[in-house]
């Protein structure tokens, strides 16, 4: 009834041919430039931490983060898509503590806070190449050449600016919430961190 579709190089070959075509015709850049001057739909990728390898769960989120911006471009919006790297926080600190064989605030202070911070900063881009390879493999269209980096001062200052704007508009309030707490780390934990059994 239906004519069989022949794929001499298999599905992977077809994916590679599509990626090659996109590169030859500069499709991604053309899509990024579409609708300039029209209404914005801003999309900044919720940044992964590049000191860990990407896994199958990340592919799902990459696909979801790609569908909506592509749809908005088709609807006539200008959609800048900026990649980002989460470069600080508890997962980064714990990895360095394990590497150095230390544990907790006191041992970090004995090691030297500035030295510890440098170790953390040096570790956060360990797997960037793997992330970029996976991002390209799944066809996620995002600007990885000019990412935002959460430890850069411009990013930190933009967060403080946003908080100040929320404060000025009386949109912040103080409340109470029961949270998991780690006495060793001296901090509240996210559900993700609890799941990691920190």
pLDDT tens per residue across span 126-156: 899 999 999 988 999 999 888 999 999 999 9
Instruction: Kindly report the pTM of this predicted structure.
Output: 0.79
pLDDT of residue 196: 67
Q: What angle do CA 178, 181, 182 make, to 5 degrees?
A: 175
Give the residue numbers spanning the domain of 60.
Answer: 10-195
| Segment among 43-47, 72-76, 89-93, 102-106 with least mean pLDDT | 43-47
Structural domain includes residue 89: yes
What is the reported pLDDT for 194? 78
Q: Give domain status of residue 1, yes or no.
A: no
Residue 70: CATH number of its domain: 3.40.50.620
CA angle 31–44–170, rounded 5-degree value: 135
Other Cβ atoms within 10 Å of 77 Cβ, number: 17
Domain assignment present for residue 2? The answer is no
Instruction: With respect to residue 132, please indicate whether it lies within any of the assigned structural domains.
Output: yes
Is 50 domain-assigned? yes
In a domain, 3, yes or no: no
Specify the number of domains making up the chain. 1
Position 5 in a domain: no
Instruction: Indicate whether 4 belongs to any domain.
Output: no
């Amino acid at each position: 009834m239906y004519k069989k579709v022949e794929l001499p190089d298999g599905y992977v070959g077809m994916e590679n041919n599509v990626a090659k075509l996109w590169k030859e015709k500069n499709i991604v850049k053309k899509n990024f430039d579409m609708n300039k001057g029209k209404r914005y739909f801003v999309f900044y990728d919720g940044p992964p931490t590049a000191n860990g390898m990407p896994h199958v769960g990340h592919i799902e989120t990459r696909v979801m983060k790609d569908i909506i911006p592509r749809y908005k471009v088709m609807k006539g919006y200008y959609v800048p898509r900026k990649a980002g790297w989460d470069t600080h926080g508890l997962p980064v600190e714990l990895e360095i503590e394990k590497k150095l064989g230390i544990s907790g605030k006191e041992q970090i202070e004995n090691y030297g806070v500035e030295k510890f911070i440098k170790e953390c900063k040096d570790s956060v881009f360990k797997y960037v190449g793997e992330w970029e390879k996976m991002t390209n493999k799944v066809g996620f269209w995002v600007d990885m050449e000019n990412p935002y980096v959460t430890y850069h001062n411009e990013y930190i200052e933009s967060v403080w600016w946003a908080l100040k704007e929320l404060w000025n508009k009386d949109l912040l309030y103080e409340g109470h919430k029961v949270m998991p707490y780690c006495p060793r780390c001296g901090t509240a934990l996210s559900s993700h961190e609890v799941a990691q059994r920190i």
